[in-house]
């Protein structure tokens, strides 16, 4: 029995059908290849390309946390934070390195070659100048240089200047405590930085997304120091050290009822706004001293309590004492004393 297969397209020449079948095969193979490529891009290498896309279109911006305030016992500020303008750049967005560096050097100062080296890096963020004056910040904004931005960040200020300078200490340009109260209480004062996700459009302009983690301000620290008493003690100590041609000196003022420290002065001192001075430190808590005459109070008090001496008893101390086998005479005016 002979079976005859009729063509699906009667009336169409065989050659035309062959061409149609061949075209279908090529189209099918093309679609299959495109599907395989799409699978490779979206599934096999999807994580890799997603990471690249995030780097190009998304950026995470840190939000600095305001550093906590340091105040005296009456609430008067000794250390505060205020916003200051800083200049930064995204080297990937800079169009002409040489021209941009020259224009920036004319505004913020510095050598054009050094600025050009910073702008030629592969990073997307680099500081160019920090804590600039409002006039400099305005000049940079007006220049409208591609890739150059002006941002506000907290800067540490010390309203009392050198008053209690060694006690308060100072923080660096990034808000980290370096010495004094700023260092010892740094964890409380620095707070917690926030972050926000920003997106870039096709032209590279930033658009903030919804994910915002607000910054947590640092804690406020109130000291027992009295700013007025501290200023008086600082001035008196400076005058005394200068008049007696001494190398340094200390003064500590206590509240006799509570033993709270009302003033703690050191000389030489420094203004934290201008940075530290060589040799200036909080000497009452950092330096070691011989007990010396301070111990006489306890010795005489014990003798009076035991009845071994009377308030009118005198002591001859002119013979001095020995330190490591060497005689060390008493100072003039300390040759004799009374128990009372």
Residues with active-site annotation: 293
Q: Which of 139, 174, 136, 177 is nearest to 155 (CA)?
A: 174
134-143 vs 97-108: helix crossing angle, rounded to 10: 160
Q: How far apart are CA 315 and CA 160, in angstroms?
A: 46
Strand spans (E) along 201-279: 206-213, 221-222, 249-254, 261-267
The two structure tokens encoding residue 113: 């070659």
**Residue with the two structure tokens 């020259």:** 102
Q: How far apart are CA 253 and CA 73, in angstroms?
A: 14
Q: Which of 96, 83, 212, 192 is nearest to 147 (CA)?
A: 96
- Residue 284's H or E segment, with its range, is helix 283-286
Strand spans (E) along 255-332: 261-267, 314-316, 321-323, 326-328
Q: Which of 63, 62, 61, 81 is nearest to 71 (CA)?
A: 81
The 3-state DSSP class for residue 187 equals helix
Burial zone of 51 (CB within 10 Å; 0-12 exposed, 13-18 middle, 19+ buried): exposed
Full 3-state SS string of 3-22: CCCCCCCCCCCHHHHHHHHH
Angle at Cα 101 formed by Cα 96 and Cα 107, nearest 5°?
A: 130
The two structure tokens encoding residue 301: 């008090």
């Amino acid at each position: 029995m002979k079976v005859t297969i009729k063509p699906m397209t009667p009336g169409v020449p065989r050659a035309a059908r062959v061409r149609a079948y061949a075209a279908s095969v090529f189209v099918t193979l093309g679609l299959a290849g495109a599907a395989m490529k799409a699978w490779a891009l979206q599934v096999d290498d999807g994580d890799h390309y997603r990471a690249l896309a995030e780097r190009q279109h998304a950026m995470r911006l840190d939000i600095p946390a305001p550093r906590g305030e340091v105040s005296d016992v009456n609430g008067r500020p000794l250390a505060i934070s205020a916003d200051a303008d800083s200049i930064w750049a995204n080297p990937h967005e800079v169009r002409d390195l040489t021209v941009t560096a020259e224009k920036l050097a004319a505004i913020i100062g510095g050598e054009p070659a050094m600025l050009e080296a910073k702008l030629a890096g592969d990073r997307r963020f680099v500081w160019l100048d920090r804590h600039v004056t409002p006039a400099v910040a305005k000049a940079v904004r007006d220049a409208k240089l591609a890739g150059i931005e002006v941002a506000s960040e907290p800067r540490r200020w010390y309203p009392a200047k050198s008053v209690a300078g060694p006690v308060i200490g100072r923080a660096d340009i990034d808000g980290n405590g370096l010495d004094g109260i700023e260092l010892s209480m740094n964890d409380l004062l620095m707070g917690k930085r926030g972050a926000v996700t920003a997106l870039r459009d096709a032209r590279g302009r930033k658009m903030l997304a919804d994910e915002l983690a607000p910054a947590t301000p640092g804690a406020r620290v109130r000291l027992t120091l009295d700013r007025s008493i501290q200023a008086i003690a600082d001035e008196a100590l400076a005058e005394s050290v200068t008049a007696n041609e001494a190398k340094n000196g200390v003064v500590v003022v206590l509240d006799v009822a509570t033993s709270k420290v009302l003033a703690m002065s050191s000389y030489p001192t420094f203004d934290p706004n201008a940075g530290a001075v060589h040799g200036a430190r909080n000497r009452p808590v950092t330096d070691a001293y011989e007990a010396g005459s301070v111990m006489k109070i306890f010795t005489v008090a014990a003798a009076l309590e035991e009845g071994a001496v009377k308030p009118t008893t005198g002591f001859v101390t002119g013979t001095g004492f020995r330190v490591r086998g060497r005689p060390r005479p008493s100072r003039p005016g300390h040759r004799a004393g009374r128990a009372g």
